[in-house]
Chain A
Amino acid sequence: MSDKAPDTAGMDYLQTLPRRWVTVYIPMIVFLILLLFPFYWMAMTAFKPNEELVSRAANPFWIVSPTLAHFEKLLFRTDYPQWMWNTVLVSVVSTFASLAASVFAAYAIERLRFRGAKQTGLAIFLAYLVPPSILFIPLAAIVVQLGLFDTRWALILTYPTFLIPFCTWLLMGYFRSIPYELEECALIDGATRWQILVKIILPLAVPGLISAGIFAFTLSWNEFIYALTFVSSSETKTVPVGVVTELVEGDVYHWGALMAGALLGSLPVAVLYSFFVEYYVSGMTGAVKE
């Protein structure tokens, strides 16, 4: 993504400055304002006292007397900390489990080339295209039957259905780029397949593992429909579901607390993303590029 090489800039330098303002800078600024305004608004609302929120006279774009009252309510008078913990637990466990299963699957499909590997690879890709919104009804029946309804296990076991296909597909691409010769050398030197996987393939695939892991983590953090369907009591809910279902009481909307909840719930993924932008983007584009 970060192209320090100036040659990708092509012939941009040929454009005159006023022309660049009209064709590039101004549209870019408008895009940025539109894309970022909801976040600005979230933050404004989260720190604004209730009187200012409902006043039509005041300038809504600024805060006169900022307050932490909404955060205080959220952290000490709701189950929010519990939802946060649930989300972290479910996302971390399902991400690592999926990553482990995907490493084996991708290595088997891409490198062991067992009989039927090609078809398996295709099946994994098709699994990746199955949307959760056509799976959640039968999955709910299965979750109930297994006695997992309203437990975190229901989410930990079902999230891999979209994480494994994605991670496997991405890792297959990474493994493909590792030269065969390395493996052949190791085989000749008497290494077992297991040693090859652990000592040669995995160290070389670290960027791919990070990409898949980061992307999988944000996918599980953002998951909504399964968490909404398979869990019903407040103590087991995840942040997105908890904020949407528990903080709205009747017709009285506590906008401050809602926006504070949305802001806090978005922060972990945003921070993680900011540290691993390149990996995230390569994961996203890698999965699309095939």
Chain B
Amino acid sequence: MSLSRFFNNRNTLGAVFMVPAGLILLVFLTYPLGLGTWLGFTDAKIGRAGEWVGFENFTFLFGDSVARLSLFNTLFYTIVASIIKFVFGLWLALLLNKTLPFQAFVRAVVLLPFIVPTALSALAFWWLYDAQFSVLSWALVKMGLIDNYITFLGDPWLARGSVVAANIWRGVPFVAITLLAGLQTISPSLYEAASLDGATEWQKFWHVTLPMLTPIIAVVMTFSVLFTFTDFQLIYVLTRGGPLNATHLMATLSFQRAILGGALGEGAALATAMVPFLLAAILFSYFGLQRRAWQQGGSDK
């Protein structure tokens, strides 16, 4: 009796129920998070525990032109890809919200790029971007638009554009389907009321759809920015950071330095350096857009 009473107590039972999840998260998430930060302040190498070196890794990285380039690339990649993903994702969501033939099928198919493993779809892009046999180049040559095959991944700016395009392809379905879920919660009566007041399509979008959608846009874009900023596999498969480090993101560079180069401390410092940017992105997109919702008369939460 006393044992069953013990297990029916909310606090004890709650603690017992939290054990499996808590244990795994403490050992494999919280501890490595702390360990990673600590490693960033040491000169640890693979197979050798490090000594505390203070900010040495960070000052070194700050003076390292490749590391600075990777920061620029990461910001460029995140900002450009996120903006385009948002615009096309919202457009696609609005299209999917209309009555379409084969509606359920179309909606299901649209999400495919997000479902399949990114590493594998990135291989398809790698093949599409091939310097000698790219079908894109083939088509452009046949149309008479270009004379020579494009070296998609050979030129720094072309390579940046190409990886951004692949990222957009993968990310648009996620943005579209989540925004579609938001669109479906907007009551049609609002549009009817706007129509009766003589609003045009554009005005309805601007004054009904967008304000009603702002809270979910804030959350979706926070996630999208987070995924894009920390992206790894797309770059690893397509360019490994090349040409001339033009597409190295902070994540891929930290992998190269820490795992391939063995400089655990330096790689960990690079990874730690991503955290402030992530926090800033989360705070900016979350609170920035949240306040807009409030200003336009939306509810606080």
Contact = CB atoms under 8 A, between A and B. Distances in A.
Contacts of B36: 134-135, 137-138
B7 A101 contact: no
Contact of A39 (B39, B103, B112, B118): B112
A218 interface: yes
Interface stretch (A68-76, A177-185, A204-212, A280-288): A280-288
A138 B13 CA distance: 33
Interface string B268-284: 10011011001000100
Contacts of A203: none
A218 B117 CA distance: 8
B147 to A, nearest CB: 13
B112 A133 contact: no
Interface string A249-290: 000010100110110011001100110010011001100111
Interface in B1-58: 4, 7-8, 10-11, 13-15, 17-22, 24-25, 27-33, 35-36, 39, 44
B145 interface: no
Given A32-B106, A168-B21, A222 B118 contact: yes
B115 A11 contact: no
Interface in A5-37: 7-12, 24-25, 27-28, 31-32, 34-36
A153 to B, nearest CB: 12
Nearest to A218: B115
B181 A243 contact: no
Looking at chain B's contact residues, the main secondary structure is helix
Given A11-B191, A266-B120, A105 B17 contact: yes
B214 to A, nearest CB: 14
Given A12-B99, A60-B138, A35 B120 contact: no
Contacts of A114: 10-11, 13-15, 18
Given A24-B95, A141-B264, A104 B177 contact: no
A142 B32 contact: yes
A115 interface: yes
A95 to B, nearest CB: 14
Interface residues of B, number: 100
A161 B25 contact: yes
B239 interface: no
B111 A281 contact: yes
Contacts of B229: 131
B29 A161 contact: yes
Interface in A28-66: 28, 31-32, 34-36, 38-39, 41-42, 45, 53-54, 56, 60-61
Contacts of A90: none
Contacts of A140: 258-259
A244 B251 CA distance: 18
A137 B29 contact: no
Interface stretch (B65-73, B78-86, B123-131, B154-162): B123-131
B216 interface: yes
Contacts of A25: 100
Contacts of A104: 17-21
B13 A112 contact: yes
B75 interface: no
A255 B127 contact: yes
B233 interface: yes
Nearest to B22: A105
28 contacts: A2-B103, A7-B188, A38-B124, A41-B124, A41-B127, A100-B20, A114-B10, A115-B14, A117-B14, A131-B278, A135-B33, A137-B36, A137-B271, A138-B31, A138-B32, A140-B259, A142-B27, A142-B35, A157-B28, A160-B24, A193-B7, A222-B118, A243-B123, A244-B119, A269-B116, A277-B104, A277-B107, A288-B223
Interface of B: 4, 7-8, 10-11, 13-15, 17-22, 24-25, 27-33, 35-36, 39, 44, 91-92, 95-96, 98-100, 103-104, 106-113, 115-121, 123-125, 127-128, 130, 132-133, 135, 138, 169, 172-174, 177-178, 181, 184, 188, 191-192, 195, 216, 219-220, 223, 226-227, 229-233, 236-237, 251, 254-255, 258-259, 264, 267-268, 271-272, 274-275, 278, 282
Given A141-B44, A157-B24, 6 more contacts: A32-B110, A35-B169, A38-B128, A132-B232, A133-B232, A138-B32
